[in-house]
Structure formats: structure tokens, C-alpha cells
Amino acid sequence: MAGLGGLKKQRRIQIIALAFVALAATTGLVGYAMRDGINFFRAPAQVVSDPPQPGEVFRLGGLVETGSIERGQGETVRFRVTDGAEVVPVSFTGILPDLFSEGQGMIGLGQMSDGVFVASEILAKHDETYMPKEVMDALKAQGMYKAPKP
């Protein structure tokens, strides 16, 4: 009977070790799956002062600079985004949201290429008063935020 107690103890240790291995594998798989889904927000001043790594995908937000929208061949649109301190040129190929316009807040997802932010996705504010929190915080930091009129 003394051998049976040692067997139970050994089995418990094996189960605990297997549970830790499964937990570590699950954590690793979740981290691997999320690595592409995490995109950090940057304001134009942050992009200029601390340029992103080549190929790094991030979100850029600010106000579309007045007079900067240039429609090129096909669906390519070029414009500049500012936070009041710095300006970053943006290139986007695709269909822009209906509410996208000059002087309005926007967030783009993409990466830098030769000093131009190449956006794969553009989000614009969805009504007259809404502004994404990240854009509002960046504009407040630069003293450029204007509260919406009630």
C-alpha cells in the first residue's frame, strides 16, 4: 500500500506539470495571434520626433490639413495630417469615408514609406461632434483642440 501513495503523488505532479505546459502554450499562442492586432497610435509630432521602425504598422491620427487633399489617378488620394506641431504626408488608395474632409479628425492604419504614411485604412469621425479620443488628446497636447459647439 505504501507504493500506491507514491504513485498518486507522482500522478499529481505529472498533471500539474502538464497543466503548466498547456498554460504556457496557450499564452504563447494568444500572444502570437495578437501581435498583428495591436497597433499603436501616434500623432504627427510623435512620428517626426521618433520615427517608426521600417515595416512597423501603426495608427496615425490628427486633423486633415486644409487645402492638402490631392486626388490622383484612380482611387489614390494624397493629403497631409497635422496635430498643430508637425505635418505628415499621407497616401491612401481606396474609397474614403463619406465624412472625410479637410479640417476634420481622422485616423489611418498603415506604415511609413520614404517619409510618407501609406495608409491601408482610413477612419473619419462619424458626426459633427465626435472626435477619436487619441486624436483629441494629441490636439490638446499641442493646444490645437477646439471644443465642438453645443
Contacts 24+ apart (CB under 8 A), 82-85: 82/44, 83/43, 83/44, 83/45, 83/138, 83/139, 83/141, 83/142, 83/144, 84/139, 84/142, 84/143, 84/144, 85/44, 85/45, 85/142
Residue 88 has pLDDT above 90, yes or no: yes
Structurally, at CATH architecture level, domain 41-142 sits in: Beta Barrel (2.40)
Q: What angle do CA 90, 48, 80 make, to 5 degrees?
A: 25
d(CA 59, CA 122): 10
Question: What is the average pLDDT across 85-114?
Answer: 89
Mean residue pLDDT across the chain: 83
Task: Say what the pLDDT of residue 16 is.
Answer: 95
Task: Decide which of 93 and 137 is more confident.
Answer: 93
Domain boundaries, the chain: 1-38, 41-142
pLDDT in tens, 129-147: 556 677 777 777 777 666 6
Per-residue pLDDT band at 74 (split at 50, 70, 90)? confident
Per-residue pLDDT band at 91 (split at 50, 70, 90)? very high
Task: Say what the pLDDT of residue 3 is.
Answer: 63
Please state whether the predicted TM-score (pTM) of the whole model is above 0.75. no
**Structure-derived torsion over alpha carbons of residues 46, 47, 52, 57, reported in degrees to the nearest 10:** 100
